[in-house]
Amino acid sequence: MARVITYGTFDLFHEGHRRLLERAKALGDYLIVGVTTDNYDASRGKLNVAQTLMERIENVRASGLADLIITEEYEGQKVNDIQQYEVDIFAIGSDWLGKFDYLKDYCEVVYLERTKGVSSTQLRNESGGVLRVGVVGAGRIAARFVAEARYVSGVNVEAVYSRTFAKAQEFAAKLELQWANDTLDSLLKHVDAVYIATPHGTHYEYARQAIAAGTHVLCEKPMTLSAAQTAELYALAESKSVVLLEAVKTAFSPGFQRMIAVARSGLIGRIRSVDATFTKLVDGGREYDATDGGSISELATYPLLAAVKLLGCEYSELRTVSFKPAESPVEVFSRVDLIYPHAVASARTGIGVKAEGELVVAGTKGYIYVPAPWWLTEYFEMRFEDQRGNKKYFYKFEGDGLRYELAEFAAMIRSGQQVSFKFRPEESVAIATIIEAARADATIIS
């Protein structure tokens, strides 16, 4: 008798789950199903699990396909389970292709083709369950987003649109999406929400069309390079009762959120200075496009996020100095200074200059230090004159971080909430205002 084992969260059980279990069961005579515990899901970065462990176990039991249901509680348990239950075949969805090849030392490993179009009308209507998401753009960031989406419960990326249809078809085939669309209108017919991951200058029009069609929008940063356009999109989203969220992963990550809370709590006194740096060395590509490129448009959203979250949106003066070599079509390093009534902030960005990517928040009693890369906040330290009061904080930053923005986006849609305290529309508009002014009014040195 061939024994088969598979694992999953099985949250908001849908037709895709059923089909995977049916395919797994067809591989042998006895199917063992491992259901992940809440603690294990949290440890591996699975977000937005809506149902309890007992509800998810009952989902599997009610399918009538499992001969035995067990719980998965820790990393490495699969090795022990396979040996304990004398398993012949380990089966898992093909979106995990290659990840479990190490189990071939213990049994046969089968990657089952991903079920496309798993959403259920009944689930969406009754529980706000599976959210159908489409991707606008077929580049590397879009591919990362699809990979990260599997860590967010109740979300299924089903479709892609690219200006080059052949590229959309290739993307859909490689990432096992149901639809490759040759027009944005076609994409919008297949999904509840879109993630926009195209060049900066195209964001506004794609987002406007999607919102006008009643589709929720998660848009890569910067949402636009115009304060007026950004404000217009938020106003349109409010009028259409859809969610619009700028995809700044740092804003939604646990470590950054905790750092903001600690800094604003008064533990370091009154905040007087915020200094944040984000640089990376780029040889060419869209970052050097003369119209939309440069270090400010590419990277300033992150350090400016720290500034507006800690000091607010109401600064009194803005000063920018940019380094633009004679041979470069864009500035490659910039310093943007914001003067507040009782504080200052400095945002440094670079695509042709490398500097230490740290964040320092200075207060009247102490300061917070976040080491590079601070925008992937995993650790920060609160420091004082008397070092005995110093305190260290540690948090996980899972994967590429896109799961955090997607989880917040999905939660907002399910709850009917159009504003997230983690990144408010007015903060997004303020950052767009600063970026637009900094690009237009910089003092240029070469």
Residue 203 confidence (pLDDT)? 97
Tell me how crowded residue 98 is: count the other CB atoms within 10 A of its CB.
9
Answer yes or no: are the C-beta atoms of 363 and 268 closer than 8 Å: yes
CA distance 278 to 261: 22
Residue 312's φ and ψ, nearest 5 degrees, are: 95, 180
CA distance 376 to 370: 10
CA distance 23 to 13: 16
Residue 126 confidence (pLDDT)? 39
Written out in words, the top-level CATH class of the domain with range 121-248 is: alpha beta
Answer yes or no: are the C-beta atoms of 246 and 262 closer than 8 Å: no
Terminus-to-terminus CA distance in the chain, angstroms? 75
Residue 120 confidence (pLDDT)? 37
3-state secondary structure string, the chain? CCEEEEEECCCCCCHHHHHHHHHHHHCCCEEEEEEECHHHHHHCCCECCCCCHHHHHHHHHHHCCCCEEEEECCCCHHHHHHHHCCCCEEEEEHHHCCCCHHHHHCCEEEEECCCCCCCCHHHHHHHCCCEEEEEECCCHHHHHHHHHHCCECCEEEEEEECCCHHHHHHHHHHHCCCEEECCHHHHHHHCCEEEECCCHHHHHHHHHHHHHCCCEEEEECCCCCCHHHHHHHHHHHHHHCCCEEEECHHHHCHHHHHHHHHHHCCCCCCEEEEEEEEECCCCCCHHHCCCCCCHHHHHCHHHHHHHHHHHCCCCCEEEEEEECCCCCCCCCEEEEEEECCCCEEEEEEECCCCCCCCEEEEECCEEEEECCCHHHCCEEEEEECCHHHCEEEECCCCCCCHHHHHHHHHHHHHHCCCCCCCCCHHHHHHHHHHHHHHHHHCEEEC
Residues 6+ apart with CB under 8 A from 7: 33, 34, 35, 36, 72, 78, 92
CA distance 208 to 229: 9
For 113, 259, 279, the CA distances from 42, given in Å and listed in that order, are 26, 20, 31
**What is 3-112's CATH topology?**
Rossmann fold (3.40.50)
The domains of the chain are located at 3-112, 121-248, 251-445
Residue with tokens 């998965």: 72
Identical fold for domains 121-248 and 251-445, yes or no, is no
Instruction: Please report, as a single letter, which amino acid is at residue 422.
Output: K
- CATH for 251-445? 3.30.360.10
Tell me how crowded residue 278 is: count the other CB atoms within 10 A of its CB.
27
Residue 115 confidence (pLDDT)? 59
Answer yes or no: are the C-beta atoms of 186 and 42 closer than 8 Å: no
CA distance 137 to 202: 10
Answer yes or no: are the C-beta atoms of 170 and 218 closer than 8 Å: no
Residue 160 confidence (pLDDT)? 97
Of 139, 147, 106, 376, give the one whose Cα is nearest residue 253.
Answer: 376
The first and second tokens of residue 179, run together, are 């639809």
Residue with tokens 């389970």: 81
* Ordered per-residue pLDDT tens for the chain, 446 residues: 899 999 999 988 888 889 999 999 999 999 999 999 988 888 788 888 888 899 999 999 999 999 999 999 988 899 999 999 999 999 998 878 888 999 999 999 999 986 555 443 444 443 446 899 999 999 999 999 999 999 998 899 999 999 999 999 999 999 989 999 999 999 999 899 999 999 999 999 999 999 999 999 999 999 999 999 999 999 999 999 999 999 999 999 999 999 999 999 999 999 999 999 999 999 888 899 989 999 999 999 999 999 999 999 999 999 999 999 999 999 999 999 999 999 999 999 999 999 999 999 999 999 999 999 999 999 999 999 999 999 999 999 999 999 999 999 999 999 899 999 999 999 999 999 999 999 999 999 98
**Exposed/middle/buried for 327, CB within 10 Å: 0-12, 13-18, 19+?**
exposed
Q: Exposure string (b/e) for 202-229, b if CB count within 10 Å is 16 or more?
A: ebbebbbbbbeeebbbbbbbbbbbbbeb
